[in-house]
Structure 1
Amino acid sequence: MLDLIEARETGAFLNWRHHEKVARFEALVVFLRARGVEDLQDLRTQLMLEAFRRAMQTLHGIGPKTVDYMGCLVGIDSIAVDRHVRTFARRVGVENDDYHFLRRAFCCAADLLALPRREFDAWLWRRATTSPQTQLGLVL
């Protein structure tokens, strides 16, 4: 990747045209390399460290959702709070919109249901992106 960045071919490699997104990706690659991250295991180990997570968020355009999503991709069981999670929270009456509050709340809900957090997140996503179904009443 570093060779591609040096040759200014990252956009072509990724098939991305948006300069800012390409620059963000390149900055992330350089950041990871500078911290000795060479493979997925290294990344997983580092993402378990709060100091590393905070440092990563100093990169322009990288926030807690990106860090959490990257963690999920390397096997850390968590929930990356996106618009679907936020929409679901509003629908069920959760008024606090703080990212960290919502992540803790939904991770706790998954834990209480004894579901892997990623499965619960996938369920939330499916629920938010499908048409609401009418629940049938029981008539005795």
Structure 2
Amino acid sequence: MSYSFEINKLVNFIENRTDFNVISSNSCFYNNHLGAILADIILQAGLNYKSVVLPRVLHIYKNYNSAHNLSGTIDIIEEIGIENFPNWKNNIKTNRYLSVLKFLSENSIDTSCELAEFLNQYENAQMFLSINGIGYKTIDYFRKLMHVETVAVDRHILNFLTQANVNFNNYHGAKLIVEYAADILNISRRDIDYSIWHYMSEKQNQMSFTFEY
């Protein structure tokens, strides 16, 4: 399927939105800390980022310096327990964290930079996707934290494309449309991702306030 028409449709939609502002995405200062960045990519799905995910990520970053690599992360978890490391009791996410650590160990990946390099190979990315709960969005989100120019398609982006009446077949189609639209608009791909997330989050908050009794 050719997405040229849909890309231009999204470009026109963005250009005609007077309430849409381009916001620079933040640099991830903890992306060299394996324990923290894994907590971020594993916890973020389905949770409030600012109130639930980020405080836990920062707690790991500030309090467990030795968890900057794989061996240090494993040592800390063995000492205090997986539930206490990110301060999270949900077995699904904690087991996913352990599965990722096992994957890294089996593939001799010690740092977040090594993981980023590893995932640059298509075959390696497919192997990483075999971990239960790890999807394309997880990989793209991780790449964003590593300052790679990419878009991680989440519900906010999907809803934004729906508002723009943009058609796509799958995750990759939606990603391609948003990334190419960013290129045409001369906006960094990381920035358009964050700008859409901010725009849709604000809209959601406004709706919540409107219907609050």
TM-score, length of structure 1 as denominator length: 0.86
Question: 1:44 touches 1:75 (CA, 8 Å); kept in 2?
Answer: no
Q: Which residue of 1 aligns with 2:141?
A: 69
Matched, 1:2 2:74: yes
Select which of 151, 164, 173 maps to 1:101. 173
Tell me, yes or no, if structure 1 residue 121 matches structure 2 residue 193.
yes
1:72-91, aligned counterparts within 5 Å? 72-91=144-163
Alignment of 1:14-53 (within 5 A): 14-53=86-125
- CA separation in 2, counterparts of 1:109 and 1:26? 37
Separation in 1, partners of 2:85, 2:123? 31
Q: Which residue of 2 aligns with 1:137?
A: none
Unaligned runs of 5+ in 1: 134-140
Residue 6 of structure 1 deviates from its aligned partner by 4.4
Number of the residue aligned with 2:182: 110
What stretches of structure 2 of length at least 5 have no aligned partner?
1-72, 207-213
Quick one: distance in 1 between partners of 2:78 and 2:201?
A: 40
Q: Structure 1 residue 5: deviation in Å? A: 4.6
Q: Does the Cα contact within 8 Å between 2:77 and 2:85 map onto a contact in 1?
A: no
Once residues 7 and 80 of structure 1 are traced to their aligned partners in structure 2, the CA distance between those partners, rounded to angstroms, is 34
Letter in 1 for 2:134: I
Q: Give the match's secondary structure for 1:11.
A: coil
Contact 1:84–1:128 (Cα < 8 Å) also in 2: yes
Corresponding residue of 2:35: none
Name whichever of 34-43 and 23-32 sits farther off: 34-43
CA distance in 2, matches of 1:34, 1:105: 35
Q: Which residue of 2 aligns with 1:60?
A: 132
CA-to-aligned-CA distance 1:59-88 (integer Å, 9 cap, x gap): 101111111111111122100000000000
| Pairwise CA distance, 1:97 | 4.9
Q: Which has the higher contact order (CA 8 A, sep 6+)?
A: 2
Structure 1 residues 102 and 90, CA gap change in structure 2 (3 angstroms): same
Determine the C-alpha separation between the residues in 2 that align with 1:83 and 1:15.
Answer: 26
**1:138 aligned residue:** none
Tell me the distance in 2 between the aligned counterparts of 1:53 and 1:109: 25
Deviation per CA, 1:41-61, whole angstroms, max 9, x where unpaired?
A: 212211211111111110101
